[in-house]
Amino acid sequence: MSVTEAPLSVDKPRSPRRPAARRNNFELFSWIFMRLSGVVLLFLVLGHLLIMLFLDGGVQRINFAFVAGRWASPFWQFWDLLMLWLAGLHGGNGLRTVINDYSRKDSTRFWLKMLLYVSVVLTVGLGTFVIFTFDPNIG
């Protein structure tokens, strides 16, 4: 090779090899949701623990009558419902990220995420059903 010949050209490291796919903002919204729900959950859970453990007499007072009295108020129903929904979705979203990061095969990733989605929907759905249909007059 003589000095006047041009060297072989190599693509830049980040040059696209295929046309760029349409951008999806789901991951951005997921990231923002994790931050916001984490902050809200911090206040909800710490408030829940403070009230249940210290201000309301401790865990020895928690029984059916205690829950019935607490859920007689729409405020506490909403508090517990919000905590349930945010915790379920926050945890499910975090586990979805872990599954995406660590599963190697597409089929494994698909089935793990389907199992995750079904379990989150069942757990949050059953909890929501219990909060809205709780009857303190069992008899």
CATH of the domain at 109: 1.20.1300.10
pLDDT reading at 11 higher than 90: no
Distance between CA 79 and CA 85 in Å, rounded? 10
Instruction: Look at residue 37 and tell me if it is in a domain.
Output: yes
Instruction: Look at residue 3 and tell me if it is in a domain.
Output: no
Half-sphere exposure of 59 (CA within 13 A, CB side): 1
Please tell me the predicted confidence (pLDDT) of residue 64.
85
Q: Which stretch, 26-30, 109-113, 135-139, has highest mean pLDDT?
A: 109-113
Residue 48 token pair: 């829940």
Of residues 49 and 112, more confidently modeled: 112
Of residues 119 and 25, more confidently modeled: 119
Q: Average pLDDT over the chain, rounded to whole?
A: 86
Burial of 118 (0-12, 13-18, 19+ CB in 10 A): exposed
Instruction: Look at residue 61 and tell me if it is in a domain.
Output: yes
pLDDT reading at 1 higher than 80: no
Distance between CA 51 and CA 131 in Å, rounded? 19
How many CB atoms are closer than 10 A to CB 9?
6
Burial of 42 (0-12, 13-18, 19+ CB in 10 A): exposed
Phi, psi of 124 (to 5 degrees): -70, -40
The total number of structural domains in the chain stands at 1
Instruction: Look at residue 107 and tell me if it is in a domain.
Output: yes
Q: Are residues 124 and 89 in contact, defined by beta-carbon separation less than 8 angstroms? A: yes
What domain range is 34 assigned to?
26-133
Please tell me the predicted confidence (pLDDT) of residue 59.
80
Instruction: Look at residue 6 and tell me if it is in a domain.
Output: no
